[in-house]
Amino acid sequence: MAAQPLEDWNSGLCDCFEDASTCCYGFWCCPCLACTVSERFGENRCLPLCDICSPAVTAACGVPLFVPPAALALRSAIRNRYNIKGSICKDIAASCFCEWCSWCQMHRELKYRKKSPPVIVNMQPAPMVTVQNNIPPPVVLCQTGVPMAAY
Q: Is residue 90 part of a domain?
A: yes
Q: Identify the three-state secondary structure at position 12.
A: coil
Tens digits of per-residue pLDDT, 17-45? 777 777 676 666 778 888 999 999 999 99
pLDDT above 90 covers a percentage of the chain that reads 26
Please answer whether residues 70 and 47 qualify as being in contact, where contact means their C-beta atoms are separated by less than 8 angstroms: yes
Q: Residue 26 in contact with residue 39, Cβ under 8 Å?
A: no
Would residue 141 count as lying in a domain?
A: no
Nearest-angstrom CA–CA distance, 105 and 75: 9
Residue 75 inside a domain? The answer is yes
78-105 pLDDT per residue, tens: 999 999 999 999 999 998 888 888 998 9
Residue 71 lies in a domain: yes
- Note the helical H segments in the chain: 20-28, 30-41, 49-60, 69-81, 88-97, 99-112
The verdict on residue 29 lying in a domain is yes
In a domain? residue 40: yes
8 occurs within a structural domain: no
Q: Tell me which residue range forms the domain holding 90.
A: 16-112
Position 124, amino acid: Q
Specify the pTM: 0.66
Number of independent structural domains in the chain: 1
- Residue 148's pLDDT is what? 53
**Nearest in space to 19 (alpha carbons), one of 91, 106, 92, 95:** 106
Residue 53, in any domain of the structure: yes
